[in-house]
Amino acid sequence: MAGKKDGKFQVHSDEVTKAAHNALERRGVSVEAIAEIVFEMQEPFNEGLQIAHCIESVESVLQKREMQHALLVGVELDELAEQGKLSRPLQQIVDTDEGLFGVDEMIGLGAVLTYGSIAVTTFGHLDRNKVGVIHELDTKAGKHVHTFLDDLVSSIAACASARIAHRQRDLEEKGQGFKDIKPEETAPEIHVEGTDT
C-alpha cells in the first residue's frame, strides 16, 4: 500500500500499523504481556482498573506513528544482529548489548516524549527494574538479541501507564473512576490520528 505525494512514494498508515503489530508478535511479545506490566503499576492507584483497560491503553499507544516507527527500527536491528547481518563493529555492540551503548534506550525514550513527564519517569523506572516480559527479554539466553526490544516494550508500557494516570484524573474530576467505565469507553480520542494521549 503506497500513495504518491510530491513525486515520492508515501507508505499508508495502515501498512505501518500492521507492520508494527507484526514486529511485536514475531518477537514473541503480546499486547496482553505489556498490559500486565501496566496493570501491575497502575492498579494500586486506580480503583476498579481492569486488565482490559490496560489492553485498550496499550493498543492505543500502538496506534501512534512515533511508537510504530521506533518499533520498526529497533526490532529490525535486533533481528539483523541475530542473523549476524550488521557490519562490524555495530554487530558486536548490538549482539552483546554493550554497556555504554545507549541508542536503544534513546529510541525508547524518544517514543515516550509524546506522553509527557509521567511517561518519562515511568520509562526510567522500567529501565532499571525490568519487570514481567521486559525481564524475560533481558535475561533470555541463547541466540536471541533483544537489545532494542526491552527498551521498546518499556516505552510502550510507560506510555500506556501515563495514559491511564491522566485518564484517572479526568474521571476523578467527573466524580468517577475506572470502576464506572467499560474498557472501550476509556479512549474516546483513540480515532483522532496523531493527537491522542
- Return residues touching Mg ion (CB under 5 A): 104, 147, 150-151
Q: Which residue number has the CB closest to Mg ion?
A: 104
* Cell numbers that stand for 18 in this block: 500492521
Cα 77 to Cα 21, 56, 80, 90, 131, distances in angstroms: 16, 28, 5, 10, 23
- Three cell numbers at 22? 507484526
Q: How far is the CB of 138 from Mg ion (least distance, A)?
A: 8
Smallest gap from residue 109 Cβ to Mg ion (A): 11
Which CB sits closer to Mg ion, 114 or 155? 155
Distances (CA, A) of 118 to 30, 131, 151: 23, 18, 16
Q: Which is nearer to Mg ion, 62 or 107 (CB)?
A: 107
Q: Where are the alpha helices (DSSP H) in 43-173?
A: 51-61, 65-82, 90-95, 103-112, 116-128, 132-139, 149-173
Which lies closer to Mg ion via its Cβ, residue 56 or residue 104? Answer: 104
Minimum CB separation of residue 146 from Mg ion in Å reads 7
How near is the Cβ of 152 to Mg ion at its closest, in Å?
Answer: 9
Closer to Mg ion by Cβ: residue 57 or 147: 147
